[in-house]
Structure 1
Amino acid sequence: MDDNRNVYRLQGLSCTNCAAKFEKNIRTIATVEDVQLNFGAAKLTVQGAVTIDQLEEAGAFDGIKVFPERQRQVEQKQSFWKKRQNITALVALFLTVVGYVTNFQLGDNHPVAIGFFIAAILIGGYDLFKVGIANITKLQFDMKTLMTIAIIGAAIIGEWAEGAVVVFLFAVSEALESYSIDKARQSIRSLMNIAPKRATIRRGNEIVEMDVEDVQIGDVLFIRPGQKIALDGEVVIGQSSINQAAITGESIPVHKQPGDEVYAGTLNEEGSLEVRVTKRVEDTTIAKIIHLVEEAQAERAPTQQFVDKFAKYYTPAIMAIAFLIAVFPPLFFGASWEEWIYSGLAVLVVGCPCALVVSTPVAIVTAIGNAARNGVLIKGGIHLEEAGQLHAIAFDKTGTLTEGKPVVTEIVSLSAKGEQEVLGIARAIEEYSQHPLASAIIREAIRLNAPVYQAEDFTSITGKGAKAVVESTDYFIGSPALFEEMQLLPVEVKNTVSQLQAEGKTVILLGTKFELKALIAVADQVRKTSKRIIEKLQQLGIKQTVMLTGDNQLTATAIGQQLGLTETMADLLPADKLAAIKTLKMRYGNVAMIGDGVNDAPALATANVGIAMGGAGTDAALETADIALMADDLEKLPYMISLSRKTLSIIKQNISFALLLKIVALLLVIPGWLTLWLAIIADMGATLLVVLNSLRLIKKNESGI
């Protein structure tokens, strides 16, 4: 990290307007070169020399507290009823009620009643006026400025009771909005608390407990049953079941043994383990997830960009309308100044763009946090929105729809050589090959204890196979096309090959220059969950499910039919997969590509949404994909699409609520029914409605599909 760049956590950051003002105040500090404020994550990045006191002074208007990112802070839980601003709101309510009772007993606008209303306004609105009046002097027009103008205006025209009610309602709505946004931020806090802050280290015969920040790579963690793993590492001693739900979303524990990788924040269920640390605390998988989730929440989604731009012009327009309503009827039609100034003030209150501005970010923040807790890493609002609009999904075959570990299913000897001898010769040649099918033959030869031969003069025949000398004989191994070129493929063998390929198997032939010796069928096993997941996607309305594979068309067709896919595209090189994605986009619009995040990178990048599988195991998947399914399984794909659609639906509802309530309230000006307290209920009601509606996404899970 740059020596001059510091990251801080914030407490008390209550609204988007406050965040913008806080950022602006920091920019005025002479030593600050650049500043980035992430409202969703309550996180601040400052480039330049600056003290915490200077930062807290910049946020003093909103009581913002600043902490260095690495400082372990104990969050002070304060009762809702003990917060100063909530106590003053209750005092304001009490004084307002007493004012109304006094008015009722002593008559309207009695001096004693007015005294109670003034006390309610000053006590309940002190913080509001302090910021609002400062903003007026600087010509900064935000929510608090408009409220201050409205309350002062109400006082000038003698509407003391209305002013007191507005102050109380504003205080209540601010408290509820702050509480709701804090609930949305809880998704990140819960991620931060997944991994333990202390680790037990075995050093020689001694067991030492220390802060995770002090643990070094190579140290050995000692993990007892029921304990969480503190850092990423590799099991060196012991076996156990590890609950990885916090990272991958998998509900079933995974068996781990020496050599297996384990992640910080996962739960050791049964046996004791000793784990060699492979990553420092800031580089663990959970640390990367938290960082990427925070970056995702800071990135503005397309809908949010549109709303922000709209709000920029909307606020001045509302102020102009309020001014015209206040002066136009009295000036040109002799109407009552008091009545129309009051209506203008009400329009000013109801027109605040608060609900509109928070309609999108709270939904995005909540959804991305929810997804991260369920083992799906969505790297920005734009990808969340795109995933909610998918019409087609393209799957890489190997390792995505299939296990990615091909196995030998048949060995057909076409000569006097037995199965074991055939496997021994094939293994000797394939030892030099990097092809996945070669590993299947080697594994089968070891399993059946086939004789071990040595191959010499190995030569690869590009795209078709290989040749080598084994036991003083030239052997060829490869595809049927290789032996067809050598004119060694009789009709009966060709028919057997076609039959096996139609069953979804890949056929490898072994022979010499003069005759075929054997036929080996290899198949990549289809994942047990693949068919069910394809069905779920089709139930969600994804009508086009396409498999892209480098395998032959017969094998691809067999697997496609077995899984119920709508289309299979076979014999594809990486460049062909890229072209296939472009074709699918032209035909169907929004297309997702799902692969392992390492291979097929061009196709993943070209798709509207690139989805990587097994993000927890590969850094490349976390870095390259738009969305990473942390488990090496498609189980979370229907949930992710359902969540994206739900989020889009909630954003549309929020924008509709915000605009509709304001339009209805503004129409009440015509018959003169819009009062100040009704205006604030409409404005704050809309804000709370969109925030609470967005928080429904906290509960979204797989059962909600």
Structure 2
Amino acid sequence: MQKYILKGLCCAGCASKIEKLLKEQGYPSAVINMATSELILDEKEIDLEKITKIVTSIEPGVIVSPKQSEIKITNEIDYKELKKIVISSVFFILGIFSSYFGYSLSIQLLFFIVSYILVGQKVLKKTFQNIKRLDFFDENFLMSIATIGAFLIGEYPEGVAVMLFYSIGEFFQNIAVTRSRNSIKSLVSIKAEYANVLENGETIKVKPENVQIGQTIIIKPGEKVPIDGIVLNGKSSLDTSALTGESTPKSINRGEEVLSGMINLSGLLTVQTTKNFSDSAVSKILNLVESASINKTKTEKFITKFGKVYTPIIVFIAVLLAVVPPIIFNEPFIPWFYKALILLVISCPCALVLSIPLGYFAGIGRLAKEGILVKGSNYIDVLSKTTYVSFDKTGTLTEGKFKVTKVVSKNEFSGKKLLEIAKMVECNSNHPIAKTIMDFGTISCKTSLDDFEEFSEVLGKGIISRINGSEIIAGNEKLMEEKNINFEKLDVYETAVHFAVDGVYAGYILISDKLKKDSKETVLELKKLGIKKVSMLTGDKKDIAEKIASELNLDEYYSDLLPEDKVKIIEEIEANKSKKETIAFVGEGINDAPVIARADVGISMGTLGSDAAIETADVVIMNDKPSKLIPAIKISKRTQNIAFQNIFVILIVKIAFISLGIFGETTMWQAVFADVGVALLSVLNAVRILK
């Protein structure tokens, strides 16, 4: 995937045309992210010169350049455009007052024409180019017809004023949009500018992109971590807020992992890099945030389609308004023609087409600041409508930091022998319970990969293996029953892992877990937000699930579930909900991949640096706190509310001025002020999401 910056592109209608033309000219994957002024292409062979030619044929002056990995803050003011507006305004004022100084009508007209050409040449040129391509129904066409029409009926001041005020409005709107983009970009501006690479006893500053895996870097107090790595020497406190949204510093010691984007607060750290910059935490976050607005909401898709059919309809209505009443009612043509021009001026769709995507992108940026990454603005809408929330238990509601509480051997097996067997079978598993058993006691694993004749993990049940000719089974009661093992059934709250060797029961190990500090508060806050049901889906047995459900005051719990059973539960909830309601499932992201994929919105927690979790989930919470679900829903609701506010206000203002224009109660001046004003207000309103 290649990304290109389209510097100077602020016209949403033009972006749509560029995208369409690129697809026709051999780039079917072309997508323009208007919120970030980015062109995204997925083709292998890309001709930058050809792309630039296509872009500038629709929007002259736009600079196309390959996107760098860092997020750059762009200049807010186009001084060249400002200069044109100032000079045009001077000529406009001269034209207005020329009659008072005794100048002839021809001199007055000359002042108006110069003023008009200065600010209108860009609009007229675009209109002419679009007409040649037979794709001309846009805001440029509306402004061109309206202002030329004003000149034709002798309303020179109004014709110039409309174009001048439209240009002024576009100028301030572009400033507002650029400022908004910069505000959003600054939220996720977490990349380090350089890395201190240690070579031959000396440190040299290089770009993070140029640092190789295995190189040693020095991170001084106050500096950002440039690349993921392991601490070789030193200890410090790190500010992880840019990644997780957490303000509490994290203590880091030798041997621990640091992630790019964290800020070193105190000590000097020597770090060995473990990833290339392109695979680091910062790159994952930036790519996710910047690509998120490609997956558009239904509202955004509707506005885009609406903009394409809206302008032709308005032009058709304006023609009818100019022609039909004079013919039917035998009235003068000029007044109705003037009303039609007002209709064209007020009907520009820019405010809608620009402010809605910008608002959703602001929501994406605000969520990222909280350590919540969404894969598309469409998931903001889904989150805002969440009515059912289901949690996985282990590692989501509980800490997932297991502790062995009891080792009980059976038959001829001793406790020491049971632990040896347990470590033999668990040493090749990455499951948290397996790691807990491996870390318990002083007995080490004495098997190598060559000793294993068979090894398979049975999802939701345990492990079946054959080591040096012996079949060793480790797992829960279901696996023991399937293998016809005569085992001891337990009535305990802990998780029990049973073991059998060649069909003989060897005993069990009890493992405990505890609830996260914010789990209970999360359930309470979800209910305050209007969530109908908060449930828990777990593979643990009923006694454990019932105890946790009671402590957390959950509405429902489901126990003894395999991964496929969790999917069935979500499907049952799906069948009983309305179309407007949505289901969110919150899990670890790796073991819960099927159910995360099946829910309306799958949320993965505590997945900082995990590729698999980021691939699977729709929403990624970058720390392990379930309470982050609360701001995720609140920000999503606020984002959607502001989008609807903008749609409502824009349509009300336009309908009001169209009505006033038809009844002759407004002028073209007032119409252009209303159009520009509501566009500016909608952009500024969209940026409120950031606060």
| Number of the residue aligned with 1:429 | 421
Aligned residue pairs total 668
| Residue pair 1:544, 1:567 contacting (<8 A) in 2 also | yes
Q: Which residue type is aligned with residue 400 of structure 2?
A: G
Q: Secondary structure at the match of 2:137?
A: coil
| Number of the residue aligned with 1:308 | 304
Q: Which residue type is aligned with residue 629 of structure 2?
A: L
Q: In the superposition, relative to structure 1, how do residues 519 and 287 fare at CA in structure 2: closer, same or farther (>3 Å)?
A: closer
Q: C-alpha separation between the residues in 2 aligned to 1:319 and 1:343?
A: 12
Q: C-alpha separation between the residues in 1 aligned to 2:17 and 2:473?
A: 73
| Number of the residue aligned with 1:269 | 265
Range that drifts further, 343-352 or 50-59: 50-59
Is 1:222 matched with 2:218?
A: yes
Q: In the superposition, relative to structure 1, how do residues 111 and 215 fare at CA in structure 2: closer, same or farther (>3 Å)?
A: same
Q: In the superposition, relative to structure 1, how do residues 73 and 66 fare at CA in structure 2: closer, same or farther (>3 Å)?
A: farther
Q: C-alpha separation between the residues in 2 aligned to 1:459 and 1:388?
A: 48
Report the Cα offset of residue 636 of structure 1: 2.0
Q: Which residue type is aligned with residue 229 of structure 1?
A: V
Q: Deviations over 1:534-588 (max 9, x none)?
A: 2222222223111100001111011111112111110000110110111121233
| Residue pair 1:534, 1:565 contacting (<8 A) in 2 also | yes
Q: Secondary structure at the match of 1:432?
A: helix
| Number of the residue aligned with 1:134 | 129
Q: Secondary structure at the match of 1:41?
A: coil
| Number of the residue aligned with 1:686 | 678
Q: C-alpha separation between the residues in 1 aligned to 2:475 and 2:129?
A: 80
Report the Cα offset of residue 280 of structure 1: 1.6
Q: In the superposition, relative to structure 1, how do residues 468 and 126 fare at CA in structure 2: closer, same or farther (>3 Å)?
A: closer
Q: C-alpha separation between the residues in 1 aligned to 2:616 and 2:32?
A: 25
Range that drifts further, 117-126 or 550-559: 117-126
| Residue pair 1:199, 1:221 contacting (<8 A) in 2 also | yes
| Number of the residue aligned with 1:559 | 548
Q: C-alpha separation between the residues in 2 aligned to 1:163 and 1:640?
A: 48
Range that drifts further, 159-168 or 405-414: 405-414
Report the Cα offset of residue 313 of structure 1: 2.3
Is 1:152 matched with 2:148?
A: yes
Q: In the superposition, relative to structure 1, how do residues 280 and 319 fare at CA in structure 2: closer, same or farther (>3 Å)?
A: same
Q: In the superposition, relative to structure 1, how do residues 164 and 478 fare at CA in structure 2: closer, same or farther (>3 Å)?
A: closer
Return the match for 1:120 from 115, 127, 144.
115
Range that drifts further, 527-536 or 515-524: 515-524
Q: Deviations over 1:143-179 (max 9, x none)?
A: 0111011000001101112122212220121112212
| Number of the residue aligned with 1:535 | 524
| Residue pair 2:71, 2:185 contacting (<8 A) in 1 also | no
| Number of the residue aligned with 2:289 | 293
Return the match for 2:383 from 370, 374, 387.
387
Range that drifts further, 17-26 or 666-675: 17-26
Q: C-alpha separation between the residues in 2 aligned to 1:477 and 1:309?
A: 57
Q: In the superposition, relative to structure 1, how do residues 336 and 257 fare at CA in structure 2: closer, same or farther (>3 Å)?
A: same
| Residue pair 2:295, 2:377 contacting (<8 A) in 1 also | yes
| Number of the residue aligned with 1:324 | 320
| Number of the residue aligned with 1:63 | 61
Q: Deviations over 1:200-239 (max 9, x none)?
A: 1112423222222321111111111221111122222222
| Number of the residue aligned with 1:242 | 238
Q: In the superposition, relative to structure 1, how do residues 215 and 522 fare at CA in structure 2: closer, same or farther (>3 Å)?
A: closer
Is 1:583 matched with 2:572?
A: yes
| Number of the residue aligned with 1:365 | 361
| Number of the residue aligned with 1:656 | 648
Q: C-alpha separation between the residues in 2 aligned to 1:561 and 1:317?
A: 60
Q: C-alpha separation between the residues in 1 aligned to 2:102 and 2:549?
A: 83
Q: Which residue type is aligned with residue 252 of structure 2?
A: K
| Residue pair 2:82, 2:171 contacting (<8 A) in 1 also | yes
Report matched runs for 1:29-108 at 5 Å: 35-45=30-40, 47=43, 48=45, 50-52=47-49, 55=52, 58-59=55-56, 61-70=59-68, 77=75, 80=77, 83-101=79-97, 105=100
| Residue pair 1:154, 1:162 contacting (<8 A) in 2 also | yes
Q: C-alpha separation between the residues in 2 aligned to 1:407 and 1:235?
A: 27
| Residue pair 2:231, 2:254 contacting (<8 A) in 1 also | yes
Q: In the superposition, relative to structure 1, how do residues 172 and 400 fare at CA in structure 2: closer, same or farther (>3 Å)?
A: same
Is 1:405 matched with 2:397?
A: no
Q: C-alpha separation between the residues in 2 aligned to 1:135 and 1:468?
A: 72
Q: Secondary structure at the match of 1:319?
A: helix
Q: Which residue type is aligned with residue 663 of structure 1?
A: I
Q: C-alpha separation between the residues in 1 aligned to 2:462 and 2:284?
A: 42
| Residue pair 2:418, 2:507 contacting (<8 A) in 1 also | no
| Residue pair 1:191, 1:290 contacting (<8 A) in 2 also | no
Report matched runs for 1:487-636 at 5 Å: 498=491, 500-501=492-493, 505-507=494-496, 521-588=510-577, 589-636=581-628
Q: C-alpha separation between the residues in 1 aligned to 2:497 and 2:24?
A: 71
Q: Deviations over 1:396-437 (max 9, x none)?
A: 11111111122244679999x9xxx97545423321343654
Q: In the superposition, relative to structure 1, how do residues 117 and 624 fare at CA in structure 2: closer, same or farther (>3 Å)?
A: same
Q: In the superposition, relative to structure 1, how do residues 519 and 77 fare at CA in structure 2: closer, same or farther (>3 Å)?
A: closer
Q: Which residue type is aligned with residue 539 of structure 2?
A: G
Q: C-alpha separation between the residues in 1 aligned to 2:452 and 2:202?
A: 55
| Residue pair 1:458, 1:466 contacting (<8 A) in 2 also | no
| Number of the residue aligned with 1:702 | none
Return the match for 1:175 from 168, 171, 174.
171
Superposition TM-score, scaled by structure 1 size: 0.85
Return the match for 1:165 from 161, 164, 169.
161
- Which blocks of at least 5 consecutive residues in structure 2 are unaligned? none
Q: Which residue type is aligned with residue 585 of structure 2?
A: M
Range that drifts further, 202-211 or 144-153: 202-211
Q: C-alpha separation between the residues in 2 aligned to 1:459 and 1:56?
A: 61
Q: C-alpha separation between the residues in 2 aligned to 1:14 and 1:228?
A: 33
Q: In the superposition, relative to structure 1, how do residues 220 and 438 fare at CA in structure 2: closer, same or farther (>3 Å)?
A: closer
Q: C-alpha separation between the residues in 2 aligned to 1:214 and 1:468?
A: 46
Q: Which residue type is aligned with residue 698 of structure 1?
A: L
Q: Deviations over 1:355-381 (max 9, x none)?
A: 232242111111112222321111112
Q: C-alpha separation between the residues in 2 aligned to 1:351 and 1:212?
A: 49
Q: Which residue type is aligned with residue 145 of structure 1?
A: F
Report the Cα offset of residue 319 of structure 1: 0.9
Q: C-alpha separation between the residues in 2 aligned to 1:320 and 1:477?
A: 75
Q: C-alpha separation between the residues in 2 aligned to 1:346 and 1:467?
A: 80
Is 1:200 matched with 2:191?
A: no
Q: C-alpha separation between the residues in 2 aligned to 1:422 and 1:35?
A: 66
Q: In the superposition, relative to structure 1, how do residues 677 and 32 fare at CA in structure 2: closer, same or farther (>3 Å)?
A: same
Q: Deviations over 1:440-484 (max 9, x none)?
A: 4554535xxx99999x99999985999999xxxx9999768969x
Q: Secondary structure at the match of 2:424?
A: coil
| Residue pair 1:429, 1:467 contacting (<8 A) in 2 also | no
User: RMSD between aligned alpha carbons?
Assistant: 3.9
Q: C-alpha separation between the residues in 1 aligned to 2:106 and 2:67?
A: 53
Is 1:669 matched with 2:666?
A: no
Q: In the superposition, relative to structure 1, how do residues 71 and 365 fare at CA in structure 2: closer, same or farther (>3 Å)?
A: closer
Q: In the superposition, relative to structure 1, how do residues 98 and 427 fare at CA in structure 2: closer, same or farther (>3 Å)?
A: same
Q: Deviations over 1:2-40 (max 9, x none)?
A: xxxx542221111111223444565687x8786443322
Q: C-alpha separation between the residues in 1 aligned to 2:689 and 2:60?
A: 28
